[in-house]
Amino acid sequence: MALRNIRKMGDEVLGKVCRPVTEMTPRIKELIDDMFETMYEENGVGLAAPQVGVVKRIVVIDVGEQPIVMINPRIVESSGEQTDYEGCLSVPGKSGIVTRPSYVKVIALDEDMKEVTIEGKDFLARAICHELDHLDGHLYVEKVEGDLVDNQSPEEDDDEYEDDVE
Ligand code: NI
């Protein structure tokens, strides 16, 4: 396992439409392990492969319930609405208000390339939508209502703060 360098807004890889994964390989397994390690190190709750420079449809999420891996994910159902602050490890120190569905259902492949259905409500739904956008080259800043704001304590390891960042 190793930490990977997180690409920041302005890096062209973040604008790419990512390619589907067709088979699991030791290299992709290692990528997924590294993505989790990097996400936890940075106190994030989600990370998409393009954020570490890999143009593949892979996302990892952990909003504090359990680690989730999603390969080639697609949203098959969504409902409701939630409006709240959102952040991104590729846009450090900033956050902004984004409206997302309050429920999504996703079909994806897991690490064994088995199809899984994942349902997310509230914050998990937000994290899923945010990370899946990365796979199509979109950042949350495109959806922000109003202005991006500076986080008050971007360097602090603060639980309360963490809840607003993904
Ligand atoms: Ni992000």
pLDDT, tens digit, for every residue of 26-66?
999 999 999 999 999 999 999 999 999 999 999 999 999 99
Q: Say which DSSP state 20 is in.
A: P
Residue 49 CB-density burial (10 A; 0-12 exposed, 13-18 middle, 19+ buried): buried
Please enumerate in sequence order all residues whose Cβ is within 8 A of that of 58, keeping only pairs 6 or more positions apart, or say none.
18, 21, 28, 31, 32, 35, 48, 49, 69, 70, 71
| Assigned CATH for 12-159 | 3.90.45.10
Q: Is it the case that residue 165 has pLDDT exceeding 60? A: no
Ligand 1 centre distance from Cα of residue 141 (Å):
10
Ligand 1 centre distance from Cα of residue 136 (Å):
12
Ion ligand 1 — residues with CB < 5 Å: 88
The amino acid that residue 130 corresponds to is: H
| Active-site pick, 131, 145, 156, 160 | 131
Confidence band, pLDDT 50/70/90 cuts, at residue 73:
very high
Please enumerate in sequence order all residues whose Cβ is within 8 A of that of 97, keeping only pairs 6 or more positions apart, or say none.
83, 84, 85, 86, 144, 145, 146
Q: Which residues pair with 79 in a beta bridge?
A: 103
Q: Is it the case that residue 156 has pLDDT exceeding 90? A: no
> Does the annotation mark 131 as catalytic?
yes
Q: Is it the case that residue 153 has pLDDT exceeding 70? A: no
The predicted structure's pLDDT at residue 1: 79
SS3 category, 75? strand
